[in-house]
Structure 1
Amino acid sequence: MTATSPRRSWLAYLAAFLGCGSLIGVLCFHFPQLMTSKDFRQVYSEAFARHLLLAGLIAAFVLGTLAVLRGRNRRVALLGVASATLAVLLGGSNVQFDAIGKTPYSLGLDWFVISLFFSALVFVPLERFLGREQSPLRPQWRTDLSYFFMSHVLVQFILILVTASTSALAGLAAFPGLKAQIQALPLWLQFLIAVFFADLAQALLHRAYHNIPWLWRFHAVHHSSRHMDWLAGSRVHFVEIVLTRSAVLLPLLVLGFAPAAVNAYVVLVGIQAVLAHANVRVPFGWLEYLLVLPRYHHWHHVRDRAWVDKNYAIHLPVVDMLMGTFQLPPRGEWPQEYGVLKLETVPDGIWQQHLMPFQRPPAKTGHETV
């Protein structure tokens, strides 16, 4: 942003975010079977959704009006006010809906809106006070928001595809005796074992992403972000999402872990994936040797050839210790620059980045653009 560029208005962008989110919420009430997730609907109540929708509508109108009166980012502010107005015309927080029908799929827009709202509510203030100074509206934030939308809205389609493939393979490799022994273990122990085996499988695949040229072409998209924050972790190519979920779910299905243990692992993945990329520069001390935390994973994303083969684990540093890829700099040191070594090799924008692996000629090594 140059010295003559107008400053972005927080009020305007918050109004747009809340107005559009409120409109999506009303549409979820009108078409729940198509737009909401069956599993996620069991997590929240109808009253909670209505109260959240009402708060979003009020905030969008108030913040949007203030932004327009201040004369900054008026188009963005008006988008929020117009979206909130349309949401009210479609029923607002009093919108009625019929019985929810059954469909083999849904867009899961409720999961996207609620997850985005609470992730931003928690991490934006944390990064403001505990992180490296940078605006949440930093360069390419729209690209990463698009990835956040894709990963949440398409999650059910991805899970259908992954579950179908992993279930078929698991059926071929099923060991009833081993499954019975694992399922006889306490649930907390199943969870810990599941985390270890899943992290080991993902770390091995992660290392392959860096060292096999055609796999690196997909993984380079994730490493192309030059700004680390809670939103940057969402930048993952669709093909990589499918491959990684398959590699992680397959060992858990083959070994027969209880659904509750697997669900607990999925919750951990969601929390730790956001936290590991977050712009939160807190000295966690000895905990960095037990759990993958921001500084640990930030060094995996550093724009430095010396780190291209380090810190592949997603949950447990002990996995990297076993693989010989564990490395941490002296306490308090953080990367100064992130991204692939050759910045020009990865284009900007979600569509260009999704097409890039199929257009670029194969690299000689997976590290040439790390």
Structure 2
Amino acid sequence: MARSRRSFLAYASALLGLLSLMAVACFHFPELLTSREFRAVYNEQFARHLLLVGLAAAFVMGTVAILRGRNKRVAMLGVGGATLAVLFGGTNVQFDAIGKTPYSLGLDWFVLSLFFSALVFVPLERYLGKRELSPLRPGWRTDVAYFFMSHVLVQFILILVTASTSSIAGLAAFPSLKTAIQSLPVWAQFLIAVFVADMAQALLHRVYHNIPWLWRFHAVHHSSRHMDWLAGSRIHFIEIVMTRSAVLLPLLVLGFSASAVNAYVILVGLQAVVAHANLGIRFGWLEYLLVLPRYHHWHHARQQEYVDVNYAIHLPLVDMLMGTFKLPRNQDQWPREYGVMKLETVPNGIVRQHLMPFQGGRKFDDYVD
């Protein structure tokens, strides 16, 4: 019997229903579930209006899917999640001034980031994708789990990164160089910061590929068999901390202004998603100036001749300087297949993948395929 197609409305309802429930939880426990740094980006009214839109859309999409008889259980999850969100206060939840806590989860960052990322990239990949690829392709649940982990634990990641870089940065002081950099306009500092950070990241990236015990951490990222906007989220927690520390350290040592560093952080978040996205747009000469999807897709190609190339995440110039630049001139030429060369070395599931680097390169029966 042929398997029925998944209903986009049902899954969209489920996503919005669960996100709405999480948003209501954020209103109830803002000190514990929301990030102080991210709260500065949005205001309460914006969050309430967005929650109202999410609730309405979850109810409508879920009801339509149920009436059409498509993925009823998934649709019920969306309607049920939205119903619980309303019962727990919906958009009318009131709270006092938000107190201070030594730490908190970034559930608000996860909710808003997943909502807007899906809102932008799902339609883009649907109409401009190089491959016909469903948002619910194999492995999407694992990648959503990684997306959840990296966003919800954002403050803990920042604490670890700061702890690993601040003391070293304090020891390596270059007053005259810092003064020269800080005397530049912010836009110039930003451009230099992008180059410096990308060089540091690319060097570490190449080390990941060439030292076996580090490769086991990085292999998790390369285990994605499908490339889309969500695939870039699949990164081992330890690799997140190591990479962000390596990138932040030179920026701190050289004394770039907070504005330049913040602008770089925005860029790296955006470009990391775009580079993995399933976008078949012809960018022409821009592919030699900026790291765009086809460039980074070749880095993920499951082809022997591409296992040691295209390490940059921002500027192909970095790979040109390192001697690791490689890109087919034919803009219609894309990788045939993605993933690690030895599929059996990476198991399925976020928990097993986090344990995998500590298991000595063993082979698994239930592996990414």
Q: TM-score, normalised by structure 2?
A: 0.96
Alignment correspondent of 2:146: 147
Q: Once the 2 structures are TM-superposed, how far is the Cα of residue 119 of structure 1 from its aligned partner?
A: 0.6
Tell me the distance in 1 between the aligned counterparts of 2:137 and 2:152.
23
Q: Once the 2 structures are TM-superposed, how far is the Cα of residue 104 of structure 1 from its aligned partner?
A: 2.0
> Counterparts of 1:39-188 in structure 2 under 5 Å?
39-131=37-129, 132-188=131-187
Tell me the distance in 1 between the aligned counterparts of 2:6 and 2:361.
39
Residue 166 to residue 362, structure 1, CA distance change in 2 (3 Å) = farther
Does the 8 Å CA contact 1:228/1:277 hold for their aligned counterparts?
yes
| 1:195 and 2:185 are equivalent in the alignment | no
Does the 8 Å CA contact 1:213/1:362 hold for their aligned counterparts?
no
Match for 2:36 among 35, 38, 45?
38
Alignment correspondent of 1:278: 277
Q: Once the 2 structures are TM-superposed, how far is the Cα of residue 5 of structure 1 from its aligned partner?
A: 1.7
> Counterparts of 1:263-274 in structure 2 under 5 Å?
263-274=262-273
Alignment correspondent of 1:350: 350
Q: Once the 2 structures are TM-superposed, how far is the Cα of residue 293 of structure 1 from its aligned partner?
A: 0.2
Q: Once the 2 structures are TM-superposed, how far is the Cα of residue 273 of structure 1 from its aligned partner?
A: 0.2
Cα deviation, 1:38-84, whole Å, max 9, x if unaligned, reads 11111112111111000111111111111122222111111111111
Partner AA of 1:249 in structure 2? L
Does the 8 Å CA contact 1:30/1:97 hold for their aligned counterparts?
yes
Cα deviation, 1:233-277, whole Å, max 9, x if unaligned, reads 000001110110110000000000101100000000010000000
Give the total of aligned pairs.
362
Tell me the distance in 2 between the aligned counterparts of 1:310 and 1:264.
27
Q: Once the 2 structures are TM-superposed, how far is the Cα of residue 150 of structure 1 from its aligned partner?
A: 0.7
Alignment correspondent of 2:209: 210
Does the 8 Å CA contact 2:16/2:54 hold for their aligned counterparts?
yes
Cα deviation, 1:64-108, whole Å, max 9, x if unaligned, reads 111122222111111111111111111111111111001122111
| 1:13 and 2:48 are equivalent in the alignment | no
Alignment correspondent of 1:311: 310
Alignment correspondent of 1:324: 323
Q: Once the 2 structures are TM-superposed, how far is the Cα of residue 362 of structure 1 from its aligned partner?
A: 8.1
Partner AA of 1:92 in structure 2? G
Does the 8 Å CA contact 1:34/1:106 hold for their aligned counterparts?
yes
Tell me the distance in 2 between the aligned counterparts of 1:310 and 1:300.
6
Does the 8 Å CA contact 1:111/1:152 hold for their aligned counterparts?
yes
Tell me the distance in 2 between the aligned counterparts of 1:359 and 1:349.
15
Identity of aligned residues (%): 77
SS of the residue aligned with 2:202? helix
Alignment correspondent of 1:250: 249
Alignment correspondent of 1:291: 290
Does the 8 Å CA contact 2:106/2:151 hold for their aligned counterparts?
yes
Alignment correspondent of 1:234: 233
Tell me the distance in 2 between the aligned counterparts of 1:136 and 1:165.
36
Alignment correspondent of 2:341: 341
SS of the residue aligned with 1:120? helix
Partner AA of 2:150 in structure 1? S
Does the 8 Å CA contact 1:130/1:281 hold for their aligned counterparts?
yes
| 1:27 and 2:29 are equivalent in the alignment | no
Cα deviation, 1:321-363, whole Å, max 9, x if unaligned, reads 0000001112221111100111111111111111111013489
SS of the residue aligned with 2:325? coil
SS of the residue aligned with 1:335? coil
SS of the residue aligned with 1:282? coil
Tell me the distance in 1 between the aligned counterparts of 2:190 and 2:329.
32
Q: Once the 2 structures are TM-superposed, how far is the Cα of residue 134 of structure 1 from its aligned partner?
A: 1.1
Partner AA of 2:250 in structure 1? P
Alignment correspondent of 1:366: none
Does the 8 Å CA contact 2:345/2:362 hold for their aligned counterparts?
no
Tell me the distance in 1 between the aligned counterparts of 2:125 and 2:62.
24
Partner AA of 2:85 in structure 1? A
Partner AA of 1:102 in structure 2? K
Partner AA of 1:91 in structure 2? G
Does the 8 Å CA contact 1:214/1:362 hold for their aligned counterparts?
no
Tell me the distance in 1 between the aligned counterparts of 2:361 and 2:307.
21
Tell me the distance in 2 between the aligned counterparts of 1:318 and 1:169.
28
Tell me the distance in 1 between the aligned counterparts of 2:239 and 2:136.
26
Q: Once the 2 structures are TM-superposed, how far is the Cα of residue 201 of structure 1 from its aligned partner?
A: 0.3
Does the 8 Å CA contact 2:194/2:264 hold for their aligned counterparts?
yes
Gaps of 5+ in 1: 364-368
Tell me the distance in 2 between the aligned counterparts of 1:7 and 1:289.
39
Q: Once the 2 structures are TM-superposed, how far is the Cα of residue 176 of structure 1 from its aligned partner?
A: 2.1
